[in-house]
Chains A and B, each alone.
Chain A
Amino acid sequence: MSDTLPERRIPDRLNSRAYRLFRSWEALLLAVAIAIFVVNSFASPYFLSAWNLSDATFNFTEKAMIAFAMALLIISGEIDLSVASIIALASTAMGLALQYGAGTPELVVVGLVVGLLCGAFNAVFVTILGLPSIVVTIGTMSLFRGISYIILGDDAFRGYPSSFAWFGQGYIYWVFTVEMLFFVVIAVIYGVVLHKTNFGRAVYAIGNNPTGALFSGIRVQRVKFILFLLTGLMSGVAAVCLTSRLGSTRPSIAQGMELEVVTMVVLGGVNILGGSGSIPGVVIAAFVMGLVTFGLGLLNVPGIVMSIFIGLLLIGVIALPRLWTMLARRARS
C-alpha cells in the first residue's frame, strides 16, 4: 500500500477515431460476418454464387426494414412486439382490398396506411394513456393477428396482380433486387435521422434519461409517438414486400418475426435497456443473420432448428459481454 493517492488519469483528448472504430462492437460484428462468409464458402460449394447470395438477401431485407425503426424505438427505451402481427393485418387488408378490385398502387397505399394506423394505435396506448409498451404490444400482437384470423379464418387471399410482384420478386439490375434497394435506402434514411439530426439526438436523450430529456425541452411523448408510427410504417413496407414475394396472404404470415427483428437489433449492438446503439451495427447484424440462416439452409438444417440458433444468439449476445465483465471484475478483485 502506498501512502499517496493513486494518480487519477483524466484523459485530455479522445482516442483517435480510427482506434474507436477498431474497438467498437460494429468492428467485431463485421469480423464475425466476414468469418461466417469465409466458413460458409468452404462449407458449401453453392454458397459463392451471385444468384444464390442474391436469394439469400430475402432472409433479412424485410426484417431489417423493421429492425431500423425498432432500433430507434429500443434506443428510446420502448419496444414493439406487435410488428409481425402488423404485417399480418396489413397483408390481410391488402388481400381484402384486392377482393374489391384494388390495383397495385392502391394495394401499396392500403398496406402502408394499415401499418401506420397500427403504429398509431400502439402509440396512443403508450404515449397518451402512459401504459408500458411491453404489455400494450403483447396485447396488440394478439389483437392485430386476431383480426386477420377473424377476416381470413383458415382461408387465404391469392391472385395478386403481376405488377404487384415487382416489390418482392423484381430486380433492379442483374442480381440486385428491389428489396435490396429498399433496404439500402431505408438504412441510409434511418442512419441519417438517428446520427445526424436533432430528432436522433432526442431519441438517445430519451433512452438515457427520459426525465432529463423532458426537462431539456424534448417533447418525449411526441418523439415516442413518432417512433411507434415509424415502426408501424416500416411493418407496412415489410408487409408489402413479403406479400408481394409470397403472392398470398394467410393469417399466420410472418409468425414469430418479432423475435428475429428484436434479435437483429440487439445483435447490432443496441442496448435493450435503451440509450445506445447505431444503425451501421444493425446493418451488419442483418447481414450476419442473413448469412447464417442461408448457410445453415444450404446445409439442410430445418427452419425450427435455426430458430434455436436465433434464440441462443439473442441471449448469447447479451449474456456474453455481461459474463465477460463479471469474470473480469472477479479476476481483478
Chain B
Amino acid sequence: MLPRIIPVRETILAGAILALLALIASRFAGFVAPSNLANVFNDTSPLIILALGQMVVILTRCIDLSVAANLALTGMAVAMINVAMPGLPIPVIIVIALLLGAAMGAVNGLLVWKLSIPPIVVTLGTMTIFRGIIFLISGGKWVNSHEMSESFTGFPRAEVLGLPLLSWAAIVTVLLFAIMMARTPLGRSIFAVGGNPHAAVYTGINVGRTQFLAFVISGALAGLTGYLWVARYAVAYVDIAGGFELEVVAACVIGGISIAGGVGSVGGAVLGALFLGVVKNALPVVNISPFWQLAISGSAILIAVAFNARAGRKKGRIILKSAEAKS
C-alpha cells in the first residue's frame, strides 16, 4: 500500500498535540495526569460532536454557520420543556433535542437543495433567525439550574465506567461516524459529492439530497449538543455558545478537512477538536488570559488552511458557488 496523504496529515496533527502536551507537562506535570486528561476530553466533547457534523457539511462543499445558534435554541427549548414537564424522562428529551436540531438543519438543507442558495448565506441568515427565536420563546429570560429537574442536569455528568456520559456521547458519535463515512453508501456519496459533483451525478448520486442530509446530520448533532450543553452548565439563555460556530469550523480546518470539499476524515476532525480543546484547557494553567482563546482559534484557522492548501490546491470560491450539478 502506498502511504496516503491523509494519514500523514493526521500523524502530524497527533504529533503536534503530543508535543503541546509534553511542553505543558514540562512545566505543569499535573496537566497530563490521566484524570485531568479525561477532564479535558470531557470538556472538548461538545466540540468533537459538532466538528463531526460540520465535517459532513464541509465535505459536501457547504458550510453550516448556524450550529451554535441551533445548539442554543434547542438547549433553550428542551430546558423550557423540562421546566414545564419535569417528569419527562431523559431519553424522550434527547429524542426531542435530536429532532428539533434535525428540523433546523433540514431548513438549511432545503434552502440549499431546493433553491440552491449559497450555504454561507443560508446559514448566516438562519444563525440570526435562530438566536432571535430563542429571545421570542424565552422572552429574554434565563432558565436557571434550580428550575431544571435533577435528572435533566445530572445526565451528562452521570459516570459509566469512570467516564461521564457527555464523554461517552462523543465517543459513540465518533464510532458511528467512522462506520458511516467508511462503510455506508451515504458516507461514500458525501465524499463523492464533495470530490466531484458532476461525476457524482453520473454515478447516480443526488447531489442536492446528499447536501440536505449533511445539513440534517449537522443539525441533529447540534440539537443533541444543545441538550448536553444546557444540562452540563445548568443554565440556558439567548447567548449560550455565542461564536462557537467559529471554533467548530476551526476544528475542522485544523483537522485537515478541505473547505473545497471532498477531503477529510473523522480522525482529522476529532484531532482538530482535541487540539483546540487542549489549548483552551492549557491557557489558564500556563497563566494566559482566556481572552486569548478567540485570537488563537483565528490564527489556528489561518495557519491550518494555509498549511492544508499545499495538499489539495483548488481555487477558492467553491463554497460561494454551490455545486453546479443539479439533479
Do A and B originate from a single complex? yes
* Residue of A with least CB distance to B58: A135
Name B135's contact: one of A145, A302, A311, A312 (CB within 8 Å): A302
* Residue of B with least CB distance to A260: B128
Interface residues of A in 299-332 (CB under 8 A from B): 302, 304-305, 307-308, 310-312, 314-315, 318-319, 322-323, 326
In the bound complex, residues from chain B placing their C-beta under 8 Å from that of A311 are 124-129, 132
- A147 and B296 alpha carbons, distance in the complex (Å): 9
Interface residues of A in 134-175 (CB under 8 A from B): 134-136, 138-147, 149-150, 153
- A150 and B289 alpha carbons, distance in the complex (Å): 8
Name A133's contact: one of B132, B289, B316 (CB within 8 Å): B316
Does A129 reach chain B (CB closer than 8 Å)? yes
Contact with A along B292-327 (1 / 0, CB 8 A): 111111110110011001000101111111000000
In the bound complex, residues from chain A placing their C-beta under 8 Å from that of B127 are 259, 311
- A43 and B74 alpha carbons, distance in the complex (Å): 35
Could you say which of B38-46, B211-219, B246-254 contacts chain A?
Answer: B246-254
B121 to chain A, nearest CB (A): 6
Name A322's contact: one of B116, B126, B259, B316 (CB within 8 Å): B116
Does B260 reach chain A (CB closer than 8 Å)? yes
Name A131's contact: one of B115, B316, B321 (CB within 8 Å): B316
B126–A315 CB distance below 8 A:
yes
In the bound complex, residues from chain A placing their C-beta under 8 Å from that of B315 are 130, 132
Contact with B along A62-104 (1 / 0, CB 8 A): 0000000000000001110000000000000000000000000
In the bound complex, residues from chain A placing their C-beta under 8 Å from that of B163 are none
B195 to chain A, nearest CB (A): 16
Does A125 reach chain B (CB closer than 8 Å)? yes
Known contacts A304-B132, A305-B132: A153-B298 contact under CB 8 Å: no
Known contacts A302-B135, A304-B131, A323-B115: A273-B306 contact under CB 8 Å: no
B250–A142 CB distance below 8 A:
yes
Does B118 reach chain A (CB closer than 8 Å)? yes
A131–B121 CB distance below 8 A:
no
B320–A146 CB distance below 8 A:
no
Does A283 reach chain B (CB closer than 8 Å)? no
In the bound complex, residues from chain B placing their C-beta under 8 Å from that of A125 are 302, 306
- A23 and B111 alpha carbons, distance in the complex (Å): 27
Question: Which size class do A's interface residues fall under?
Answer: 35 or more
- A139 and B296 alpha carbons, distance in the complex (Å): 10
Contact with A along B172-207 (1 / 0, CB 8 A): 000000000000000000000000000000000000
Interface residues of A in 100-137 (CB under 8 A from B): 125-126, 129-136
A153–B289 CB distance below 8 A:
yes
B115–A146 CB distance below 8 A:
no
In the bound complex, residues from chain A placing their C-beta under 8 Å from that of B294 are 142-143, 145-146, 149
Name B129's contact: one of A142, A256, A312 (CB within 8 Å): A312
Most chain B CB within a 10 A radius of its CB, from A146, A147, A251, A311: A311
Count residues of chain B with CB under 8 A from any CB of chain A.
52
Does A274 reach chain B (CB closer than 8 Å)? yes
* Residue of A with least CB distance to B65: A138
Name A315's contact: one of B121, B293, B301 (CB within 8 Å): B121
- A322 and B113 alpha carbons, distance in the complex (Å): 12
A139–B135 CB distance below 8 A:
no
B305–A136 CB distance below 8 A:
yes
B292 to chain A, nearest CB (A): 6
In the bound complex, residues from chain A placing their C-beta under 8 Å from that of B292 are 146, 149-150
B295–A149 CB distance below 8 A:
yes
Known contacts A134-B63, A146-B296: A129-B306 contact under CB 8 Å: yes
Most chain A CB within a 10 A radius of its CB, from B63, B135, B259, B294: B294
B301–A147 CB distance below 8 A:
no
In the bound complex, residues from chain A placing their C-beta under 8 Å from that of B321 are 273
A138–B246 CB distance below 8 A:
yes
- A131 and B304 alpha carbons, distance in the complex (Å): 11
A293 to chain B, nearest CB (A): 13
Does A272 reach chain B (CB closer than 8 Å)? yes
In the bound complex, residues from chain B placing their C-beta under 8 Å from that of A315 are 111, 117, 121-122, 125-126, 129
Does A266 reach chain B (CB closer than 8 Å)? yes
In the bound complex, residues from chain B placing their C-beta under 8 Å from that of A144 are 298
B302–A136 CB distance below 8 A:
yes
Q: Which 6 A-B pairs have the closest CB atoms?
A: A146-B295, A143-B298, A132-B316, A308-B132, A146-B294, A139-B301
Extra contacts besides A131-B305, A272-B121, A311-B128 (13): CB < 8 Å:
A130-B316, A138-B249, A139-B305, A142-B298, A149-B291, A263-B125, A272-B118, A273-B320, A305-B135, A307-B128, A308-B129, A308-B136, A319-B111
15 A-B contact pairs sorted by A residue (CB < 8 Å): A134-B63, A134-B320, A138-B246, A139-B298, A139-B305, A146-B295, A146-B296, A146-B297, A150-B289, A263-B125, A304-B140, A307-B131, A311-B127, A315-B125, A323-B115
Residues of chain A whose beta carbon lies under 8 Å from any beta carbon of chain B:
77-79, 125-126, 129-136, 138-147, 149-150, 153, 251, 256, 259, 262-263, 266, 272-274, 302, 304-305, 307-308, 310-312, 314-315, 318-319, 322-323, 326
